[in-house]
Amino acid sequence: MSSPSQIVIIGAGPAGLRAAELLAGAGQAVTIYDHLRSPARKLLMAGRGGLNLTHSEELHTFIGRYGAAAGWMAPLIEAFPPSALRQWCAGLGQATFVGSSGRVFPEGLKASPVLRAWLRRLDGLGVRFALRRRWTGWDDAGRLTFTTEDGLVDTIAPEATLLALGGASWPRLGSDGGWVDILAGQGVAVTPLAPANCGFEVPWSEHFRQKFAGTPLKPVSVSFGGARIQGELMITARGLEGGPVYALSAPLREAIAATGGATLTLDLRPGLSQTELAKRLSVPRGSQSLSSYLRKAGGLSPLAVGLLREAGVTGVDAVMIKALPLRLTAAAPLGRAISTAGGVALAAIDAGLMLRARPGVFVAGEMLDWEAPTGGYLLQGCFATGAAAARGVLAWLDRGRAAARSHVPSSP
């Protein structure tokens, strides 16, 4: 039996932890480096909303949620599908359930019990953590370099390296995109990072902003590019946030980049047909103000009425209520996005997720160029790519050992 290989994983998020679990389980010596003081900070933040692990929909539909990356992500998801993630979680003593929307959550609806059980498992497998160490690249001898909080420099030359540093959303939780320049300097093609699952800016009037910022708009249906999604939006001081615009963030972002803006269409009364709404609004208005009339006869909230006024609607107009155009001028800043688009380009990695420019260095998680909507697809993608990168590391080590054996001269 061969001796364990020294493997360094940089990044203590879900992708890195999953890779460490598989590699250590295969008998390798694994150390996880991270520049924060504790692992999986972003996972813990996600747990505040119940920790949506994955989704229960049919696998073909599930894979389609990865959009342009669905083709190359498909075999990775199929190798570690949602059912496997649920079994993994159960193996930690954390049973899961399917919510009414099809999303999958741990029964405790918290990330901390899952993470504690996971870290205990990793400890039992011998995985070591080297925290408060920021990766700064490679030195002239090809060794990994890290700086500590005290400004000291560590170097290490592992047999394989797995990078799982995340994207650049919520940088205070660890993923700050600092790796982009490091890899670009090594000749690695990186698609520019961009916000995904993000809000968008709208040039509200000062009156509207002061009156409605922080107010939810529900129910509402939004349409763009042939897609229509119903849910709840939140008016912010700078624009809109919420599930419907998060789900449309990729085409909205691309339209804004191409033309300088995008027009989102709001249906302020999604439960009524235009014909039924027009019938209700045919009731004589009498002495009521327009706002009172629209609220009572049309069932519109004060915010919905405010949006009509913001768009310049001054009368009773069922067409505009059902299809109100709203001009978006920019995506929210990357640091405020839920996740990140862009990353290490597909052409820069091989089938085992190893960098072509640096043999023995593998990439997983949000560092790769894929994006997906919220609903469990983000975590599933991180787990699946972490597992795939771990398999790539093991296969590469096996090839190296086989090559070494083939060069050993036979005994006389």
Q: Is 151 exposed, middle or buried (0-12, 13-18, 19+ CB in 10 A)?
A: exposed
Closest CA to 270 of 304, 240, 239: 304
In terms of domains, do 363 and 327 share one? no
In terms of domains, do 205 and 221 share one? yes
Q: How many helices (H) and strands (E) does the chain have?
A: 15, 20
> Taking the CA atoms of the chain, what radius of gyration do you get in angstroms?
25
In terms of domains, do 34 and 154 share one? yes
Between CA 297 and CA 13 the distance in angstroms is: 51
The total number of structural domains in the chain stands at 2
pLDDT per residue as tens digits for the range 116-151 = 999 999 999 999 999 999 999 999 999 999 998 888
Between CA 317 and CA 277 the distance in angstroms is: 10
Q: Backbone phi, then psi, for 162, in 5-degree steps? A: -125, 120
Cis peptide before 216 (omega within 30 of 0): no
Instruction: Return the H-helix or E-strand segment holding 134.
Output: strand 133-138
Between CA 281 and CA 300 the distance in angstroms is: 11
411 within a domain of the structure (yes/no): no
What is the separation, in whole angstroms, between the first and last Cα of the chain? 24
| Sign of the C-alpha dihedral computed for residues 245, 246, 248 and 250 taken in this order | positive
In terms of domains, do 186 and 266 share one? no
**331, 352, 375 — which closes off a domain?**
331
| pLDDT at residue number 412 | 47
45 within a domain of the structure (yes/no): yes
In terms of domains, do 91 and 24 share one? yes
In terms of domains, do 136 and 266 share one? no
In terms of domains, do 360 and 218 share one? no
DSSP state of 355: B
269 within a domain of the structure (yes/no): yes
1 within a domain of the structure (yes/no): no
Question: Could you give the angle at which helices 377-406 and 82-91 cross, rounded to 10 degrees?
Answer: 90
412 within a domain of the structure (yes/no): no
**331, 366, 385 — which closes off a domain?**
331
Residues 398-410 as b or e (16 or more Cβ within 10 Å = b)? eeeeeeeeeeeee
In terms of domains, do 302 and 385 share one? no
| Sign of the C-alpha dihedral computed for residues 112, 115, 117 and 120 taken in this order | negative
In terms of domains, do 327 and 340 share one? no
Percent of the chain as helix, strand, coil, to the nearest 5: 40, 25, 35
Q: Backbone phi, then psi, for 217, in 5-degree steps? A: -110, 110
Q: Backbone phi, then psi, for 279, in 5-degree steps? A: -65, -45
Provide the residue range defining the domain that includes 323: 200-331
Asked if residue 78 lies in contact with residue 59, where contact means CB atoms within 8 angstroms, the answer is: yes
In terms of domains, do 112 and 232 share one? no
395 within a domain of the structure (yes/no): yes
Q: Is 146 exposed, middle or buried (0-12, 13-18, 19+ CB in 10 A)?
A: buried
**Encoding tokens for residue 11?**
């990044």
**309, 331, 353 — which closes off a domain?**
331
71 within a domain of the structure (yes/no): yes
Cβ within 8 Å of residue 84, ≥6 positions away = none
Residues of the chain predicted below pLDDT 50: 1, 410-412
Q: Is 31 exposed, middle or buried (0-12, 13-18, 19+ CB in 10 A)?
A: middle
| pLDDT at residue number 3 | 61
In terms of domains, do 233 and 127 share one? no
Write the CATH number for 24.
3.50.50.60
Return the half-sphere exposure (C-beta side, CA atoms, 13 A cut-off) of residue 192.
4
Q: Which amino acid is at 85?
A: L
In terms of domains, do 292 and 348 share one? no
The runs of H, that is alpha helices, within 216-349 are 243-247, 249-259, 274-280, 290-298, 302-310, 318-322
Q: Is 188 exposed, middle or buried (0-12, 13-18, 19+ CB in 10 A)?
A: buried
pLDDT per residue as tens digits for the range 332-369 = 998 889 899 999 999 999 999 999 999 999 999 999 99
Closest CA to 232 of 195, 202, 259, 270: 270
